[in-house]
Homo-oligomer: A and B are copies of this chain.
Amino acid sequence: MCQLLGMNGNTPTDIMFSFTGFATRAEEHRDGFGIAFFEGAGLRLFVDAQSARHSPVAELVQNYPIRSDHVIAHIRKATQGRVALENTHPFVRELWGRYWVFAHNGNLTGYAPRLHASFHPVGDTDSELAFCWLMQELAKAHASLPPVAELTATLRELVPQIAAHGTFNFMLSQGEALWAHCSTKLTYLVRQHPFREARLQDGDISVDFSRLTTPSDRVAVIVTEPLTRDEPWVDFAPGELKVFVAGEPLAV
Contact = CB atoms under 8 A, between A and B. Distances in A.
A43 interface: yes
Chain A's interface: helix, strand, loop or mixed, by majority?
mixed
Interface string A35-68: 0000111111111110000001100100110000
Given A60-B56, A60-B60, A93-B94, A42 B123 contact: yes
A86 B174 CA distance: 13
Interface size bracket, A side = 35 or more
A59 to B, nearest CB: 9
Interface in A85-135: 85-88, 92-99, 117-123
Given A56-B64, A57-B60, A64-B56, A86 B119 contact: no
Given A46-B46, A94-B120, A117-B118, 14 more contacts: A39-B84, A41-B122, A41-B123, A42-B47, A42-B85, A42-B88, A42-B123, A43-B85, A44-B46, A56-B63, A56-B64, A57-B64, A98-B122, A99-B122
